[in-house]
Structure 1
Amino acid sequence: MPSRSQYALMSAKDKNIVLLVCFSSAVAFFDFLIYLYIADVVAATFFPVSVNPTITKIQGLGLFAIGYLARPLGGLVFGRYGDIMGRKPVLLISMLVTVISLSAMAMLPT
Protein backbone atom coordinates (compact mmCIF):
# COMPACT_ATOMS: atom_id res chain seq x y z
CA MET A 1 0.00 0.00 0.00
CA PRO A 2 1.46 3.38 -0.98
CA SER A 3 2.27 5.81 1.76
CA ARG A 4 0.39 9.08 2.15
CA SER A 5 3.36 11.13 0.91
CA GLN A 6 3.10 9.50 -2.52
CA TYR A 7 -0.30 11.02 -3.18
CA ALA A 8 -0.58 14.51 -4.63
CA LEU A 9 -2.41 16.68 -2.12
CA MET A 10 -4.39 19.74 -3.12
CA SER A 11 -3.75 23.05 -1.53
CA ALA A 12 -6.58 25.10 -0.01
CA LYS A 13 -6.56 27.33 -3.10
CA ASP A 14 -6.93 24.31 -5.41
CA LYS A 15 -9.83 23.01 -3.33
CA ASN A 16 -11.57 26.40 -3.55
CA ILE A 17 -11.13 26.45 -7.33
CA VAL A 18 -12.58 22.94 -7.63
CA LEU A 19 -15.56 23.96 -5.46
CA LEU A 20 -16.11 27.09 -7.55
CA VAL A 21 -16.07 25.11 -10.80
CA CYS A 22 -18.48 22.53 -9.36
CA PHE A 23 -20.83 25.26 -8.10
CA SER A 24 -20.74 27.06 -11.47
CA SER A 25 -21.52 23.84 -13.31
CA ALA A 26 -24.39 23.09 -10.94
CA VAL A 27 -25.89 26.55 -11.48
CA ALA A 28 -25.62 26.20 -15.27
CA PHE A 29 -27.21 22.74 -15.12
CA PHE A 30 -30.00 24.09 -12.89
CA ASP A 31 -30.59 26.86 -15.43
CA PHE A 32 -31.22 24.30 -18.15
CA LEU A 33 -33.42 22.20 -15.88
CA ILE A 34 -35.59 25.24 -15.17
CA TYR A 35 -35.93 25.86 -18.90
CA LEU A 36 -36.93 22.25 -19.53
CA TYR A 37 -39.52 22.54 -16.77
CA ILE A 38 -41.11 25.63 -18.35
CA ALA A 39 -40.47 24.66 -22.01
CA ASP A 40 -44.22 24.36 -22.67
CA VAL A 41 -44.85 27.88 -21.36
CA VAL A 42 -41.98 29.32 -23.44
CA ALA A 43 -43.12 27.48 -26.55
CA ALA A 44 -46.71 28.67 -26.12
CA THR A 45 -45.51 32.24 -25.64
CA PHE A 46 -43.12 32.47 -28.59
CA PHE A 47 -44.71 30.19 -31.18
CA PRO A 48 -48.20 30.38 -32.73
CA VAL A 49 -51.00 28.48 -31.04
CA SER A 50 -52.52 27.46 -34.38
CA VAL A 51 -49.66 25.01 -35.01
CA ASN A 52 -49.74 21.39 -33.83
CA PRO A 53 -48.77 21.26 -30.10
CA THR A 54 -46.14 18.62 -30.82
CA ILE A 55 -44.43 20.92 -33.34
CA THR A 56 -44.60 23.76 -30.83
CA LYS A 57 -42.95 21.58 -28.17
CA ILE A 58 -40.23 20.54 -30.63
CA GLN A 59 -39.62 24.21 -31.45
CA GLY A 60 -39.34 25.03 -27.75
CA LEU A 61 -36.86 22.21 -27.23
CA GLY A 62 -35.02 23.45 -30.32
CA LEU A 63 -34.47 26.73 -28.49
CA PHE A 64 -33.06 24.69 -25.62
CA ALA A 65 -30.71 22.87 -28.00
CA ILE A 66 -29.49 26.14 -29.50
CA GLY A 67 -28.72 27.48 -26.02
CA TYR A 68 -27.01 24.24 -25.05
CA LEU A 69 -24.79 24.28 -28.15
CA ALA A 70 -24.11 28.02 -28.01
CA ARG A 71 -22.32 27.84 -24.67
CA PRO A 72 -19.34 25.72 -25.75
CA LEU A 73 -19.10 27.57 -29.07
CA GLY A 74 -19.12 30.89 -27.22
CA GLY A 75 -16.51 29.46 -24.88
CA LEU A 76 -14.27 28.67 -27.83
CA VAL A 77 -14.68 32.13 -29.35
CA PHE A 78 -14.36 34.03 -26.08
CA GLY A 79 -11.56 31.73 -24.91
CA ARG A 80 -9.49 32.42 -28.00
CA TYR A 81 -10.17 36.15 -27.74
CA GLY A 82 -9.26 35.99 -24.04
CA ASP A 83 -5.97 34.28 -24.86
CA ILE A 84 -5.11 37.08 -27.26
CA MET A 85 -6.52 40.18 -25.54
CA GLY A 86 -6.67 39.14 -21.87
CA ARG A 87 -9.42 38.28 -19.42
CA LYS A 88 -10.69 41.74 -18.60
CA PRO A 89 -11.95 42.66 -22.12
CA VAL A 90 -13.63 39.25 -22.44
CA LEU A 91 -15.35 39.69 -19.09
CA LEU A 92 -16.57 43.16 -20.05
CA ILE A 93 -17.82 41.97 -23.46
CA SER A 94 -19.66 38.98 -21.96
CA MET A 95 -21.26 41.20 -19.30
CA LEU A 96 -22.29 43.71 -21.98
CA VAL A 97 -23.85 40.98 -24.15
CA THR A 98 -25.70 39.64 -21.10
CA VAL A 99 -27.03 43.08 -20.16
CA ILE A 100 -28.17 43.80 -23.72
CA SER A 101 -29.94 40.45 -24.11
CA LEU A 102 -31.64 40.71 -20.72
CA SER A 103 -32.72 44.26 -21.46
CA ALA A 104 -34.15 43.17 -24.80
CA MET A 105 -36.08 40.34 -23.10
CA ALA A 106 -37.40 42.76 -20.47
CA MET A 107 -38.78 45.02 -23.21
CA LEU A 108 -40.73 42.27 -24.96
CA PRO A 109 -44.44 43.01 -25.01
CA THR A 110 -45.41 39.62 -23.50
Structure 2
Amino acid sequence: MNTTPIRFFPSDPLFPLQWHLYNTGSTPGSVAGYDINVVSVWPDYSGRGVLVGVMDQGMDPTHPDLIQNYRHDLSWDVRSGQPGGSAKAPTQNHGVPVTGLIAAEAGNGIGGVGVAWERR
Protein backbone atom coordinates (compact mmCIF):
# COMPACT_ATOMS: atom_id res chain seq x y z
CA MET A 1 0.00 0.00 0.00
CA ASN A 2 1.35 3.42 -0.99
CA THR A 3 1.23 5.92 1.89
CA THR A 4 2.81 8.80 -0.03
CA PRO A 5 0.42 11.76 0.20
CA ILE A 6 -1.03 13.13 -3.01
CA ARG A 7 0.03 16.73 -3.52
CA PHE A 8 -0.95 19.43 -5.98
CA PHE A 9 1.79 21.72 -7.25
CA PRO A 10 0.49 24.67 -9.31
CA SER A 11 2.34 25.68 -12.46
CA ASP A 12 2.06 29.40 -11.68
CA PRO A 13 5.44 31.13 -12.19
CA LEU A 14 5.64 32.69 -8.71
CA PHE A 15 4.51 29.61 -6.78
CA PRO A 16 8.13 28.48 -6.12
CA LEU A 17 8.65 31.78 -4.27
CA GLN A 18 5.55 31.37 -2.09
CA TRP A 19 7.46 29.77 0.78
CA HIS A 20 4.47 30.20 3.10
CA LEU A 21 2.55 27.66 0.97
CA TYR A 22 5.35 25.19 0.25
CA ASN A 23 8.79 25.80 1.70
CA THR A 24 11.66 23.92 0.13
CA GLY A 25 14.25 26.15 1.82
CA SER A 26 15.26 27.73 -1.49
CA THR A 27 14.00 31.21 -0.58
CA PRO A 28 16.71 33.17 1.29
CA GLY A 29 16.08 33.09 5.04
CA SER A 30 13.50 30.31 4.84
CA VAL A 31 13.64 26.89 6.46
CA ALA A 32 12.46 23.87 4.48
CA GLY A 33 9.23 22.45 5.82
CA TYR A 34 8.15 25.59 7.69
CA ASP A 35 4.97 26.36 5.76
CA ILE A 36 1.22 25.82 6.04
CA ASN A 37 1.44 22.41 4.32
CA VAL A 38 -1.35 23.31 1.90
CA VAL A 39 -0.10 21.27 -1.08
CA SER A 40 -1.10 18.07 0.68
CA VAL A 41 -4.73 19.18 1.17
CA TRP A 42 -5.28 20.87 -2.22
CA PRO A 43 -6.31 17.62 -3.94
CA ASP A 44 -9.34 17.57 -1.60
CA TYR A 45 -9.73 21.22 -0.53
CA SER A 46 -9.06 23.84 -3.18
CA GLY A 47 -11.57 26.48 -2.12
CA ARG A 48 -14.26 25.26 -4.50
CA GLY A 49 -17.65 26.42 -3.26
CA VAL A 50 -16.16 28.53 -0.46
CA LEU A 51 -16.94 32.22 -0.15
CA VAL A 52 -14.37 34.35 1.70
CA GLY A 53 -14.88 38.00 2.56
CA VAL A 54 -11.98 40.45 2.68
CA MET A 55 -12.41 43.80 4.36
CA ASP A 56 -9.43 45.84 3.30
CA GLN A 57 -8.41 48.97 1.48
CA GLY A 58 -8.65 49.05 -2.31
CA MET A 59 -9.25 46.22 -4.77
CA ASP A 60 -8.51 45.86 -8.47
CA PRO A 61 -11.50 44.01 -9.93
CA THR A 62 -9.64 43.57 -13.23
CA HIS A 63 -6.50 41.92 -11.82
CA PRO A 64 -5.84 38.93 -14.12
CA ASP A 65 -4.92 36.57 -11.27
CA LEU A 66 -8.06 37.45 -9.28
CA ILE A 67 -10.77 38.17 -11.85
CA GLN A 68 -12.10 34.58 -11.98
CA ASN A 69 -12.48 34.38 -8.21
CA TYR A 70 -13.60 37.94 -7.43
CA ARG A 71 -17.30 38.59 -6.79
CA HIS A 72 -18.05 42.05 -8.18
CA ASP A 73 -21.66 41.72 -7.08
CA LEU A 74 -20.59 41.51 -3.41
CA SER A 75 -17.98 44.27 -3.50
CA TRP A 76 -18.73 47.18 -1.17
CA ASP A 77 -16.96 50.43 -0.31
CA VAL A 78 -17.42 50.87 3.44
CA ARG A 79 -16.17 54.44 3.46
CA SER A 80 -18.62 55.71 0.81
CA GLY A 81 -21.42 53.27 1.65
CA GLN A 82 -21.78 52.29 -2.00
CA PRO A 83 -21.14 49.23 -4.17
CA GLY A 84 -17.59 48.76 -5.43
CA GLY A 85 -14.25 48.26 -3.76
CA SER A 86 -11.81 49.74 -6.26
CA ALA A 87 -8.90 51.78 -4.93
CA LYS A 88 -9.61 55.51 -4.85
CA ALA A 89 -5.92 56.48 -4.58
CA PRO A 90 -2.62 54.82 -5.56
CA THR A 91 -1.82 54.15 -1.89
CA GLN A 92 -5.13 52.33 -1.31
CA ASN A 93 -4.24 48.98 -2.82
CA HIS A 94 -3.60 46.66 0.13
CA GLY A 95 -6.70 44.62 -0.71
CA VAL A 96 -5.09 43.24 -3.89
CA PRO A 97 -2.21 41.31 -2.26
CA VAL A 98 -4.40 40.20 0.64
CA THR A 99 -7.02 38.85 -1.75
CA GLY A 100 -4.25 37.24 -3.81
CA LEU A 101 -3.00 35.29 -0.77
CA ILE A 102 -6.50 33.90 -0.43
CA ALA A 103 -7.91 33.54 -3.93
CA ALA A 104 -5.34 34.00 -6.71
CA GLU A 105 -6.25 31.50 -9.42
CA ALA A 106 -4.03 28.45 -9.84
CA GLY A 107 -2.76 27.08 -13.13
CA ASN A 108 -3.33 30.18 -15.25
CA GLY A 109 0.35 30.95 -15.82
CA ILE A 110 0.07 34.32 -14.05
CA GLY A 111 1.74 35.27 -10.78
CA GLY A 112 1.22 33.10 -7.73
CA VAL A 113 -1.61 31.08 -6.24
CA GLY A 114 -3.96 31.63 -3.32
CA VAL A 115 -4.79 29.17 -0.56
CA ALA A 116 -8.39 28.83 -1.78
CA TRP A 117 -7.67 29.22 -5.50
CA GLU A 118 -10.71 27.46 -7.02
CA ARG A 119 -14.03 29.25 -6.70
CA ARG A 120 -16.02 27.44 -9.33
Structure-1-length-normalised TM-score? 0.22
Larger Rg belongs to: 1
Give the number of the structure whose residues are more often helix, by fraction: 1
Structure-2-length-normalised TM-score? 0.21
Higher relative contact order (CA 8 A, sep 6+): 2
